[in-house]
Amino acid sequence: MDKGIEIRWHGRGGQGAKTAALLLADVAFKTGQYVQGFPEYGPERMGAPITAYNRISADKIRVHSNIYTPDYVVVVDETLLSSVDVTAGLKKNGAIIINTSKSREEIAEKLGGYKGRIYTVDARKISVETLGKNFPNSPMLAAIVAVSNVMDRDTFIGEMRASYEHKFAKKPEVIDGNMKALEMAYDVIEAAMEDDKMSLSA
């Protein structure tokens, strides 16, 4: 794999970071790409820090090791920032996305001087608003797709609807909430990227 992107997910056991990584592999597969989605396993328990990974490429993927120099990092739980070096190896021309209610400026102080792009999404707020519960992984999934552009918005939304319709065949009432969560997170990132473009051209 010489082209393609590498993503590292940081979360806590039970928050669905692993599920989100597998969902991302799934949806990227459906757009005809080569994918890998895998968690780093240990003695899993609720609340313990966990790491999951994605490789997405137009070429066949042969490497079977963890990811040390990711293009993107997704932090599903901001309390990890004080204990895990989430920007370790993260490429300067890459980006980090953090689930937080804080602004980009506030969160940047906690990232050890990381020079690349920083995005924030209040996934908890979005999830509670759309699903009534805190399931941060759907908004974070939309956020990484928006930032990394592994596929366009319409394709992503279309594939996710099909995937949720299959997954929640017996609970159709949660489909609309999940779709709304994806759209809202996508909007947040698109707006932030638009801001970046404006400030660059200014």
Partner 1 sequence: MDMKERMSGNEAVSYAIKQINPDVMPAFPITPSTEIPQMISTYIANGEIDTEFIPVESEHSAMSAAIGAQAAGARSLTATSSAGLALMWEELLLAASNRLPLVLALVNRTLSGPININCDHSDGMGARDTGWIQIYAENNQEAYDNFIQAYPIAEHEGVHLPVMICQDGFITSHAVENIELLDDKKVKKFVGEYKPEEYLLNPGNPVAVGPYSVSNYAMEAKKNQEIALENSKAVILEVAKNFKKISGRSYGLFEEYKTKDADYIMLIMGSAAGTAKQAVSELRAKGMKVGVLKLRVFRPFPAEEIAEALKGCKTVAIMDRCESYNGNGGPLGSEVTSALFRNKVMIETVNYIYGLAGRDFTVDEAKAIFKELEEQDVSGRKVEQYKYIGLRT
56 three-state secondary structure: strand
Distance CA 7, CA 21 (A): 9
Return the residue of 45, 47, 58, 63 that touches partner 1, per CB under 8 A: 63
Q: Which is nearer to partner 1, 61 or 175 (CB)?
A: 61
Q: Quick one: tokens of 176? A: 């609309």
Hey, what amino acid is at 95?
Answer: A
Choice between 32 and 113, CB closer to partner 1: 32
1 binds partner 1 (CB under 8 A): yes
Q: Say how many residues touch partner 1, by CB under 8 A.
A: 23
Q: Which stretch binds partner 1 (CB under 8 A): 28-36, 76-84, 110-118, 174-182?
A: 28-36
Q: Binding to partner 1 by residue 174, rule CB under 8 A? A: no
> Does 36 contact partner 1 by CB under 8 A?
yes
Find the binding residues for partner 1 in span 68-107 (CB under 8 A).
68
Q: By the 8 A CB rule, do 126 and 149 touch?
A: no
Which of 31, 34, 174, 180 binds partner 1 (CB under 8 A)? It is 34
> How far apart, in Å, are the Cα atoms of 82 and each of 52, 86, 90?
19, 9, 17
49 binding partner 1? (CB under 8 A):
no
**Is 13 a residue that touches partner 1 (CB under 8 A)?**
no
- The residues, any chain, with a CB within 8 Å of residue 25's CB and separated by 6 or more, are 35, 36, 37, 54, 56
Q: How far apart are CA 166 and CA 133, in angstroms?
A: 21
Amino acid at 201: S
Please name the amino acid found at residue 116.
G
Task: Give the nearer residue to partner 1 in terms of CB position, either 60 or 201.
Answer: 60
Please list the residues that pair with 74 across neighbouring strands.
Answer: 9, 97
Q: By CB under 8 A, which span of 65-73, 86-94, 142-150, 187-195 interacts with partner 1? A: 65-73
Judged by the rule CB under 8 A, the positions of this chain that interact with partner 1 are: 1-2, 22, 25-26, 29, 34-39, 41-43, 60-66, 68
